């Protein structure tokens, strides 16, 4: 197995690193402190192709592999975790539109979405439907050539500041087969937004609830066939789990680099704390686990690109492991900074806050364990997934 990077991948990484260094990192603390959603910077990301990385080329996207896209996201996360994470959500919604909508809808929406001139939110979670996505209740009833949408979505990233909503809705009976996906303009009549949630982290992107009150949406705005929504959502979540795992790896890498530089300079008892064996052991463990997490994420991305039958299991394993490792590495890096790590003048406390939610979203890590365990307990699973 060849782990070396191609020339194209090195170029992607260099471009993303430059963008993160020049535009994201210098502003991340201010965006976090003032809850600023940097739409102008996202538009500049679109100019580089970062807002349509794996949207189909026919829809104006780059048609990248998930492996290549993950390398870009890792670099962007080093600049601003919250902004990079929203960028991945936008990419997921945009790729769904580009893959499953009609040519007319793609022509209407994708140029703006891919360019970052328009932004998209992905709307799955409801007040009573989180991990159990198949139980969602927001309903779309057919009325001639339209659907009438009523219900509520909760904890939606970008809501109130985006232009397009990719919404999972119930059009049939209970269960996963009764779910359909629609593209709904964010300013459609009958849509209202809740207050911007006050969060522990991810403050550079807004999070709000959405209420749909008899919202009329053309049937032409449907993604795929009626009843295909759950399959589209689960396909998106496999990639979303790679994305959020990658955000954890990138942020943890940055935290490790910052901690390594700090312990070389910081002295106690007339000795640089980097010279203490306890510090060296901690750094060694942080690096080892971080490298393991990165390789697991890239393996899962490779499996997804190859349409491997076990891709969902690998994505779940990678998401669980990398988000746990990412948070732990950031927390350990804060500890190495001592009291300064707890002060907002330094970025460590923000890294800890921003990576904590990664263990919850795109399916909690408890649900990831359920997915993996169910596969493991199937007949001959050990032979299949090793």
Question: CA–CA separation, 47 vs 57, rounded Å?
Answer: 15
Helix or strand or coil: residue 166? strand
Question: CA–CA separation, 276 vs 271, rounded Å?
Answer: 8
**Backbone conformation region of residue 259, classed left if phi is above 0, alpha if psi is from -120 to 50, else beta:** alpha
> Which residues on adjacent β-strands are paired with residue 170?
139, 179
Q: Which residue has the tokens 């919404």?
A: 167
362 is catalytic: yes
What sign has the CA pseudo-torsion 219, 222, 226, 230?
Answer: negative
Helix or strand or coil: residue 326? helix
Question: CA–CA separation, 81 vs 244, rounded Å?
Answer: 10
| 276 backbone dihedrals φ, ψ, rounded to 5° | -75, 135
Cα–Cα distance list, 247 to 151, 164, 272, 293, 343 (Å): 31, 23, 31, 11, 23
> Which residues on adjacent β-strands are paired with residue 166?
122, 183
Catalytic residue among 74, 126, 362, 383: 362
Buried b vs exposed e over 276-291: b needs ≥16 C-beta within 10 Å?
Answer: eeebeebbeebeebbe
Side-chain half-sphere exposure of 43, counting CA atoms within 13 A: 8
Question: CA–CA separation, 297 vs 244, rounded Å?
Answer: 10
Q: Which residues contact 107 (CB under 8 A, 6 or more apart)?
A: none
Strand ranges for the chain from DSSP E: 120-123, 139-143, 146-157, 164-170, 179-185, 191-193, 207-218, 222-223, 267-268, 271-272
Q: Are 77 and 246 in contact (CB under 8 A)?
A: yes
Question: CA–CA separation, 230 vs 223, rounded Å?
Answer: 11
Catalytic residue numbers read 362
């Amino acid at each position: 197995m060849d782990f070396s990077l191609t020339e194209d991948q090195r170029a992607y990484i260099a471009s993303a690193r430059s963008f993160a260094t020049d535009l994201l990192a210098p502003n991340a603390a201010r965006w976090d402190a003032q809850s600023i959603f940097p739409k102008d910077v996202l538009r500049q990301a679109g100019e580089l192709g970062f807002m349509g990385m794996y949207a189909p080329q026919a829809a104006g996207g780059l048609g990248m592999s998930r492996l290549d896209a993950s390398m870009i996201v890792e670099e962007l996360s080093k600049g601003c975790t919250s902004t990079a994470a929203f960028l991945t959500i936008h990419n997921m919604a945009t790729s769904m539109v580009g893959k499953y909508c009609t040519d007319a809808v793609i022509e209407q929406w994708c140029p703006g979405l891919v360019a970052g001139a328009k932004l998209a939110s992905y709307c799955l979670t409801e007040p009573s439907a989180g991990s159990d996505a198949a139980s969602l209740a927001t309903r779309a009833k057919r009325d001639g050539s339209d659907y009438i949408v009523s219900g509520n979505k909760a904890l939606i990233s970008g809501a109130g500041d985006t232009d397009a909503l990719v919404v999972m809705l119930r059009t049939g009976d209970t269960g996963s087969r009764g779910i359909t996906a629609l593209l709904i303009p964010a300013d459609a009549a009958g849509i209202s937004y809740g207050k911007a949630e006050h969060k522990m982290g991810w403050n550079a992107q807004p999070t709000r609830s959405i209420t749909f009150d008899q919202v009329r949406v053309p049937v032409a705005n449907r993604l795929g066939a009626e009843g295909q929504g759950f399959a589209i959502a689960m396909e998106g979540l496999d990639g979303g789990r790679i994305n959020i795992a990658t955000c954890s790896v990138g942020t943890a890498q940055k935290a490790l680099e910052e901690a390594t530089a700090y312990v070389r300079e910081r002295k106690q008892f007339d000795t640089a704390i980097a010279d203490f064996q306890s510090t060296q052991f901690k750094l060694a463990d942080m690096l080892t686990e971080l490298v393991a997490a990165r390789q697991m994420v890239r393996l899962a991305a490779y499996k997804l690109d190859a349409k491997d039958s076990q891709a969902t299991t690998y994505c779940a394993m990678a998401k669980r492991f990398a988000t746990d490792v990412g948070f732990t590495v950031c927390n350990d890096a804060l500890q190495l900074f001592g009291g300064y790590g707890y002060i907002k003048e330094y970025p460590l406390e923000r890294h800890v806050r921003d990576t904590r939610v990664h263990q919850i979203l795109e399916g909690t890590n408890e649900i990831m364990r359920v997915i993996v365990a169910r596969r493991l307990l199937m007949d001959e699973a050990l032979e299949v997934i090793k």
